[in-house]
Amino acid sequence: MRIAHINPTYHGGSGEAARRLHAGLLRRGVDSTFFNLQEDLPQEKAALIRPSRSWASRLGSKWRALSIERERALVRTRLDPACDSFSDDRTSLTPDLAESLAGYDLIHIHGTSYLIDYRRSLRAFARRGQRIVWTLHDMNAFTGGCHYDRHCGRFRQACGACPALRSSSPADLSRRIWKRKNQGLAQLDPARVHLVCPSRWLAGLAGESPLLGRFSISRIANAVDTDRFHPADQREARNRLGLPPDGRIVLFVSSSLDLERKGFHLLKAALEKLASLPGLFLCAVGSTRQAHSPGIPHRLFGTVSDPALLRDLYAAADLTAVPSLQEAFGNILIESMACAVPVVGFACDGMTDILRHGASGLSVPPGDSAALAEAVEALLRDEPRRREMGRKGRLQVEQEYTLEINSAAYLRVYDELLAQN
């Protein structure tokens, strides 16, 4: 069995989830290769995708790029700043990625941006009869471009009049992208394709989608490497990071503090209500273009890619706050739980599969910063409860979210799909 994993990057939400599955498969001796656009890491069987250097290929790529760039320029000028991601269905990559994957039994798609051309690439996979497992890490596969629709629901009616593009036209770019995706996906035989979603929420939306509703769908939760993310001594972690040894530390982790969907603004509002709480301190991980001033003692760490540093940040915290307003799963939840640190977050979409109120943490109504403040304060004032929640969270991870459990579930999907004539 030869498996080709496809994702634009080796990092980020989908990249990290795909990388963990890939690592789990390699541990099992599976012939698995990770194709991406950013890193060539032979020791982890990651293959860097390079465009052809031939004159004809470069000319063809440039011609396609001119057409695609017109649409992407429109996106840049029209995209609502509150929409964190918007990706189209095409790529200027020449030759097509599918040509590099002819020798693989099964293509595992994790992300498509800048890699997959829905009409060209999917036609090539279908023509060769290759099986496809497609893990949806967000909504992009069945929308007209957005990765999270902020609950607009227009994907059910072929998009158009896109709020993300601040458009009122039914025939706008989101509708054109949706139609092209439909043309590409229509080429696939449902018997040779299986969709996987990390949460019940996302699986339900994919099943409602006119683009994906005809394919079989399974739910397989993402995994966390419990050897990398594990409980550690809090005082030692704080000492290494230079954090207040006796502070009441709240941790926030995101790719960016500026993404409205991640809810950092709501956490700031919640913590400002608790400004009089002795020792309150915020640690925030994520890039930012803004000058954030939470109104309490704090430290901004910027982007953190080192797992050891991230583990120290979890270990140093009394709790992790995850105030996301829309989330397909919630890798931050299981990372924090793996480190035996309880979580406070909104009862939001895919996170409801993970966060069990009163067990591994506390959940509150989405968007309610006052309720978030009350939950944070309740845990910060109750160390025995935090410890017990941390213990239960770690146990939940060991029972549901390890690399071994994740890779075994995917192997069952692979075997069933490849066994079909």
Q: What residue has token string 């829905």?
A: 118
What does residue 387 show for φ and ψ, rounded to 5 degrees?
Answer: -65, -40
- Per-residue b or e along 186-209, where b marks 16 or more CB atoms closer than 10 Å to that residue's CB: eebeeebbbbbbbbebbbebbbeb
Q: Check: CB of residue 89 under 8 Å from CB of residue 184.
A: yes
pLDDT given for residue 12 in this prediction: 72
Q: Could you tell me the domains of the chain?
A: 2-223+403-419 (3.40.50.2000), 234-400 (3.40.50.2000)
User: For the residues of 3-14, what is the DSSP string, one character each?
Assistant: EEEE-S-SSHHH
pLDDT given for residue 190 in this prediction: 95
Q: Check: CB of residue 302 under 8 Å from CB of residue 286.
A: yes
pLDDT given for residue 358 in this prediction: 93
Q: Residue 74 burial by CB count (10 A; 0-12/13-18/19+): exposed, middle or buried? A: middle
Per-residue pLDDT 10s for the chain (421 aa) are 899 998 887 777 788 888 889 888 998 999 998 888 876 665 577 666 665 566 555 666 676 777 788 888 888 899 998 888 899 999 877 677 888 888 899 999 999 888 889 999 999 999 999 999 999 999 999 999 999 999 999 999 999 999 999 999 999 999 999 999 999 999 999 999 999 999 999 999 999 999 999 999 999 999 999 999 999 999 999 999 999 999 999 999 998 898 999 999 999 999 999 999 999 999 999 988 876 677 889 999 999 988 899 999 999 999 999 999 999 999 999 999 999 999 999 999 999 999 999 999 999 999 999 999 999 999 999 999 999 999 999 999 999 999 999 999 999 999 999 998 6
pLDDT given for residue 82 in this prediction: 84
Tokens of 407: 């890779």
Q: How many of the other CB atoms lie within 10 Å of CB of 244?
A: 14
Q: How many of the other CB atoms lie within 10 Å of CB of 377?
A: 18
What amino acid is encoded at 234 in this protein? Q
Hey, CA dihedral for 15, 21, 24, 26, is it positive or negative? negative
Put simply, whether the predicted model's pTM sits higher than 0.85 gets the answer yes
d(CA 141, CA 146): 9
The span from the first CA to the last CA of the chain, in angstroms, equals 15
Q: How many of the other CB atoms lie within 10 Å of CB of 376?
A: 26
3-state secondary structure of 141: helix
pLDDT given for residue 352 in this prediction: 95
d(CA 321, CA 333): 9
d(CA 37, CA 35): 7
Tokens of 263: 């809810």
Radius of gyration of the chain (CA): 22
DSSP 103: T
H or E element in which residue 361 lies: strand 361-364
